[in-house]
Amino acid sequence: MQRKQFWLRAALHVAALGALIYVLMGAAGPQWELTNRHDRVLEAGVWAVRFLLFSLAISPLNTYLGWRSAIPLRKLAGLWAFGFGVLHFALSLSESQPFGAYLLPPVASFVIFGLIALVILAALAATSTRWAQRRLGKNWKRLHRLVYVAGL
């Protein structure tokens, strides 16, 4: 069982690192033009959502299909979702538009929901250790239920 979990974790890390390299290679090249820049910002955000949805899908996979070996991947996928969320935020700040332009009406709702999700994921990432679980007790579970709000 541990060997299977090792390979599942390794596969998740390889997939995440591949996505990270893909996003960063496009972001770091000399062709860092406006369209490419915007595509990379969106790509980082899409990967954050993919990892978040994957982490949310693990519980139903366990409940309905009995896939217990996926449970340890939940934390890992959530941490990768947070990492890609931070990357998405950093890349969007590096765009040539002033930050106030993001708060204009057509984009404002996406920015606000994204920032709320990022703050929630930051709190979850900061409290994802066993020490935090012991320290927070029952409140840890309440806090980590906010992942469903971030998933919206």
Please report the sign of the dihedral spanned by the C-alpha atoms of residue 51, residue 56, residue 58, residue 60.
negative
Q: Which two tokens stand for residue 48?
A: 């954050």
The pLDDT of residue 18:
92
Rounded Cα distance between 107 and 119, Å, is 18
The pLDDT of residue 105:
66
Residue type, 126: A
How confident is the prediction for the chain on average, in pLDDT?
Answer: 82
Shortest CA distance to 82 belongs to which of 150, 152, 13, 9? 150
Confidence of residue 96 (pLDDT cuts 50, 70, 90): low
pTM comes to 0.82
The pLDDT of residue 126:
87
Q: Which two tokens stand for residue 84?
A: 């890609």
Confidence of residue 20 (pLDDT cuts 50, 70, 90): very high
Residue type, 64: Y
